[in-house]
Amino acid sequence: MRELHVGRGANAGALTVFPVWGDAPTSRGYGIDDASLVVSELPDGPAVGHVLAQNSASMPLLITEGMLLEGGWQTRALTRSVLLPARESLAVEVVCVEQGRWSGGAGHRTAGRRASSRIRAAARRRGDHGAQGTVWQRVAQYEARFGQSPTSSYADHADRGAADVRRLVATMRTLPGELGVVIGIGGHQVVAEVFDSPLSLRQQFAAIMEAAGMDALDQPAVATPARRAIRLIEEAEGLSLRPIAAAGLGTTMTGSSERVAVDALAWRRRLVHTTVTNAHHPLNVGA
């Protein structure tokens, strides 16, 4: 990972958000535009773990890990970031976040929403055959606050929590040149997300904040110290990343230690989108 710098955190309830800066290319060479994305079930029939993503734009399109794909035969979340080629379709890996439905139409809609960190941490367990079951268990944890969903849908819980979440994150803003954020909840660092462009962060910021808010609502209103946010980034910077799979035009890179896990999308010798997870935070381990 490139060298990054962590700024002063902003607090709201249990949530602390730290800005992250670093070097950025002068031009992205891709877009992030939900209007250019068409998502449907596979042509040969629905499959829980994959959907078809089509980029209708004339330039590559970044779709980010955790993106909610609502509708179809069941609502899914993207398990890793992918750079879709211009005017092409690609089968992409997803996880189900709506256990109680297996019916509907072929099309999905994207409403600019993300799954929360506790859901995404479970979905990242590649090679773990129990990962889908863990995701469903974590979706069910939201019933304690929001009540039962008829189809055990994360999107239902996000709908019910939307007003409280928006009030919680209303004061959060990006700063000039900012590339990413470190999210702290209840006094400890949970996750960091870093892009290669300030524009990419600005386009994703609201979704990142609202996903973090879903996990922060019921946590103690304790500010996360800056030293913990800095430690998360420093530990990630010390890891060597290895390629594990193609991700459209890009490559999925990963690395981990006893305390942190890094997942990144690499393209043109740079990391386009990087997620750093605190492997010990209770939200990420499912406690």
Structural domain boundaries in the chain: 4-285
pTM given for the model: 0.95
Average pLDDT over every residue of 272-276? 98
Q: Check residue 284 and give its pLDDT.
A: 93
To 10 degrees, what angle do helices 154-169 and 198-216 make?
110
- Strand, helix or coil for residue 146: helix
Q: Give residue-wise pLDDT tens across range 7-66.
A: 999 999 999 999 999 988 778 999 997 789 999 999 999 999 999 999 999 999 999 999
* Whether residue 124 has pLDDT greater than 90: no
Average pLDDT, the chain: 95
* Whether residue 245 has pLDDT greater than 60: yes
Phi-psi region of 179 (alpha: psi -120 to 50; beta: other; left: phi over 0): alpha
Using a pLDDT cut of 70, give the percent of the chain over it: 98
Find the largest Cα–Cα distance for the chain.
51
Q: Check residue 15 and give its pLDDT.
A: 99
